[in-house]
Copies of this chain bind each other. A is one copy, B any other.
Amino acid sequence: MKNTFGNSVAVTLFGESHGEYIGATIDGLAPGIEVNHEYISHMLTLRRPAGKISTPRKEKDQYRIVSGLVNGRTTGTPLTVLIPNENVKSGDYVQMQTLARPSHADYTADCKYHGFQDTRGGGHFSGRITAALVAAGAICRYALEQKGICIGTHVKRCAGISDREFTDLASDIKKVNEKIFAVLDEARGKEMQEAILAAASDGDSVGGVLETAVIGMPKGVGEPWFDTVEGLLSHMMFSIPAVKGMEFGAGFAIADMRGSMANDPFRMKEGQVVSGSNNNGGINGGITNGMPVIFRTAIKPTPTIFRQQDTVDFRSMSDAVLLPKGRHDPAIVHRARVVQDAATAIVLCDALALRYGTDWLK
């Protein structure tokens, strides 16, 4: 469906980095869901750049919900959130209209849109668009929390430095959701931020790994061919700019295990089926098994760096040299974390609504 994701609950994104508005429309939300503005604003704050480790572009993200909301609750009809773009400096991007930033979408956008794409600030390919995804996802996420389904993401790795593992998920999720720079081990978080600053001072950028945990997810959700929970989540996550890998449970490490080690033995606990280990990340055969859903994404270093790079001018079709200006992040992994939370919430709402009907989330 191209620019709409989901069937029972569906989200459509629109807007460009330097356009009048970015926005999202969510269709299929149950009627009567409480929309918590404080919660949404907090999510947007977590996504917004902060301090020296992020772009100096500051947006207030004064979102407005212009449809689908009455008296603080969803109506059940499409809900549209608009976020105005205010702090726009398009002049910075003039050069990029024909010089392709390596590893960014400038060139591929031109291949696809034949020069008609909005090139200002990356246009529709800008990370800016994720603010609308976060606002839409925050509504879903808050609704899921009222049902006992909680999502949390930490910076598992950044600039080669690793955070500690998730241990007690309920408290760890709570912990990371309160932080701007979401790590479980504060000391490692400081190291990561220093590494980001070090890269920034070199005009360079760094990447990382985000790890998400979902607890409280009902068992029996997902479809075998082709709407597995893994397939739906990855379909969504690869839309988040910079994601280049996705793994569930033990992920790529499981490839080196033997079955006797990789298998998650089931056992009964307080009348519920649980598994001793969780190498499958809470999903067997594409369907949730009631254990926490665990996955990780690989976030590439921000492609826009302040160093001279070889590239091409795709209008004149000739070799060129690029030295970007503009406002860019030396890392986005810490900001992408709340985008990943929001995107996860949307996918889960869709899968749950298919399973339990359009009123389930109420």
Contact = CB atoms under 8 A, between A and B. Distances in A.
Interface residues of A, number: 154
30 contacts: A1-B226, A2-B227, A3-B77, A15-B78, A20-B67, A25-B25, A32-B115, A70-B116, A70-B118, A76-B114, A100-B266, A108-B286, A108-B288, A159-B256, A204-B260, A205-B260, A207-B254, A207-B257, A207-B259, A226-B236, A234-B246, A244-B248, A245-B245, A245-B246, A245-B251, A251-B298, A259-B304, A259-B305, A265-B309, A356-B357
A285 to B, nearest CB: 2
Given A107-B284, A284-B108, A205 B258 contact: yes
Interface in A188-213: 199, 202, 204-209
Interface string A1-35: 11111011010111110011111010110011000
A157 B113 CA distance: 39
Please give the count of copies of this chain that the complex contains.
4
A80 B23 contact: yes
Contact of A254 (B15, B301, B357): B301
A16 B225 contact: no
B247 A298 contact: yes
A56 interface: no
A14 B68 contact: yes
Contacts of A112: 31, 76, 220-222, 287
A20 to B, nearest CB: 4
A202 B2 CA distance: 48
Contacts of A276: 310
A14 B265 contact: no
Interface string A335-362: 0000000000000000000111111101
A286 B248 CA distance: 21
- List 8 tightest A-B contacts by C-beta distance, closest first: A105-B285, A111-B220, A245-B247, A205-B259, A108-B287, A31-B116, A230-B238, A357-B357
Contacts of A19: 66-67
Interface in A163-199: 199
